[in-house]
Amino acid sequence: MSAPFISPSARDLLRIRWHPLVLAGSLGGAIALAHRYLHIPAVHTPSTAAKARPSWGDGIALLALTAFAWFAVSLCNVIPDFYFHWGLKGERFFLARGTDYDFLAMPWNEVLARDYPTLLPDLYAAAALLAGRFSARAMMLWSVGAFGLLLLAGREALRQAGVVRFVAEATLALTALAVAAAGIRGNMAGGADWMISLALVVAMPALMRPPDRAGNVQLGVAAAFAAAAKLEGSVLAAILIVVQGLRGLAGTRSGRRFDFPAFAALLLPGLVVVVHWQAEVRRFHLARPYYGGIDLHHGQAIVSALRYELTASPTWHGFAYSLLLLPLLAFRRRLRPVVAVLAMQLAFYLYSYYSFLFDPVPLVLTSFDRLELHLVPAILFAAGIALDAGAHGSRAPELAASGAMVPNACQA
């Protein structure tokens, strides 16, 4: 899924100057490779499960996506970081016809979070190069597209889990409305947080079935995509690799041989992305220390700020409390790998607040809404799967035990 998006950084690694024909050729080649290696054969799902044809849940999800798209393209809910970070880099890279590391290394650009991976600015620059000009309104379509892919991935995760039709449609509709409302109210268009959320939802089907080579390929691509998006994505990539790797090792205790090609497919994509970017960060001295060891002196202030975000912040309209569902979701065996990934990612965010070298309260108040965007959609989709398994006795566990799969969201 993410291979087309990593290609700009790959061209920087090869020192190839960007050109519309080069971009178009890279995109076509990446799509062909994704179609070749990410194809999963279809199997029959339970008759009670959600079908592929459109439904009322899809209609509500499309309505929510349309509302978000209107606000985004109208520049009514643009994240401030687009003007001071993501979009500024993207326009600069468009003018430079490539990732401009010399520009990022300038001392006055320390405020641009210059040690962040450049996937999103690269996408902005590549789109502007193909269109011939840089347009802020057009760049918002990347957020709209990521939101749409997130909904498709969640829809497919529900279908692959064998969730009954009504529960699947209600879960999709509720998630779409909650995320769209948060994206509009919280001014989240134009940022890279959608990519982290998308990577987590895309990873769900592979985490919910026994480890296999196809699942490792999917998780490896999701990890690379997340690692290329933000620093938080690098942590998510490591978590996905560790959780799936431990699941694979656990399988060897039952007599199965360790599958080295499958582990390589899981590890290498994310490792290549992280190593390449960190090499550039060190080469151009882009890093600046913002975090150190855990400091408990700000503990009470952090807890108060987090309590405000959960109870009084209007962005998520109460859906922030879905974070508290993680212990309950762990009672469903097939959801435990998903819960483990979500819990470790949340723990990392809490660690970052306690290890921040400056006053962490402004950081909590300005970032926690966006960090919730990473986790809440996957939690809501997992809650729908758990609810169906508890209320309707779905045949999903039987499918999980057999390792059955249907086409992923990228091929829906």
pLDDT digits (tens, 9 = 90+) for 195-229: 999 999 999 999 999 999 999 999 999 999 999 99
Distance of alpha carbon 116 from alpha carbon 278, whole angstroms: 10
Residue 298 has pLDDT above 50, yes or no: yes
Within 10 Å of residue 343's Cβ, how many Cβ atoms? 18
Q: Which residues contact 148 (CB under 8 A, 6 or more apart)?
A: 65
Q: Is the pLDDT of residue 31 over 80?
A: no
Residue 4 confidence (pLDDT) above 60: no
- Please enumerate in sequence order all residues whose Cβ is within 8 A of that of 135, keeping only pairs 6 or more positions apart, or say none: 128
45 pLDDT above the threshold of 50: no
Residue 409: band (very low, low, confident or very high) from pLDDT cuts 50, 70, 90 = very low
Whether 277 shows a pLDDT value over 70: the answer reads yes
Phi, psi of 78 (to 5 degrees): -80, 135
Mean pLDDT of 309-325: 92
CA atoms within 13 A on the CB side of 237: 27
Cα dihedral: 101, 106, 110, 116 (round 10) = 0
Q: Minimal CA–CA distance to 195: which of 96, 283, 273, 311?
A: 273
Question: Taking a C-beta distance cutoff of 8 angstroms, is the pair 279, 272 a contact?
Answer: no
Which has the higher per-residue pLDDT, 4 or 126?
126
User: What's the mean pLDDT in 16-45?
Assistant: 54
Question: CB–CB of 198/216 below 8 Å?
Answer: no
Task: Evaluate whether 232 touches 350 at the Cβ level (below 8 Å).
Answer: no
Residue 13 makes CB contacts below 8 A (sequence gap 6+) with 276
Instruction: Return the SS3 of 397.
Output: helix
The CA distance from 186 to 180, in Å, is 10
Residue of 85 and 13 predicted with greater confidence: 85
pLDDT at 398: 42
Higher pLDDT, 258 or 365: 365
More confident site: 378 or 357: 378
Percent of the chain with pLDDT over 70: 81
Does this model's pTM top 0.95? no
- Residue linked to tokens 């003007």: 83
Which of these ranges, 70-84, 136-150, 282-296, 368-382, has the smallest mean pLDDT?
282-296
Distance, CA of 85 to CA of 64 (rounded, Å): 27
DSSP summary character for residue 137: H
Q: What is the mean pLDDT of residues 17-46?
A: 54
Distance, in Å, from the CA atom of 331 to the CA atom of 243, rounded to the nearest integer, reads 18
Q: Burial of 327 by CB count in 10 Å (0-12 exposed, 13-18 middle, 19+ buried)?
A: exposed
Dihedral angle sign, alpha carbons of residues 26, 27, 31, 34? positive
- At 225, list the tokens: 């995509």
pLDDT tier at 109, thresholds 50, 70, 90: confident
Residue type, position 300, single letter: Q
What is the spatial distance between Cα 89 and Cα 121, in angstroms, rounded to a whole number?
Answer: 6
**The pLDDT value given to residue 19:** 61
The arithmetic mean of pLDDT across residues 226-253, rounded, is 93
CA distance 341 to 354: 20
Please, are residues 57 and 172 in contact by the beta-carbon 8 Å criterion?
yes
Q: At 256, is the pLDDT very low, low, confident or very high (cuts 50, 70, 90)? A: confident
Q: Domain map of the chain by residue range?
A: 3-411
Q: CA-to-CA distance for 102 and 386, rounded, in angstroms? A: 50
- Residue 313 CA to residue 369 CA, distance in Å, equals 8
- Say whether pLDDT at 59 is over 60: yes
**Cα(276)–Cα(285) distance, rounded to whole angstroms?**
14
Residue whose entry in the numeric block shows the structure tokens 């966006």: 370
CA distance 87 to 74: 16
Q: Which tokens in the block code for residue 348?
A: 């990392």
What's the start-to-end Cα distance of the chain, in Å? 12
Selection from 256, 285, 280 nearest residue 109 by Cα: 285
Classify 317 in phi/psi space as left (phi over 0), alpha (psi -120 to 50) or beta: left
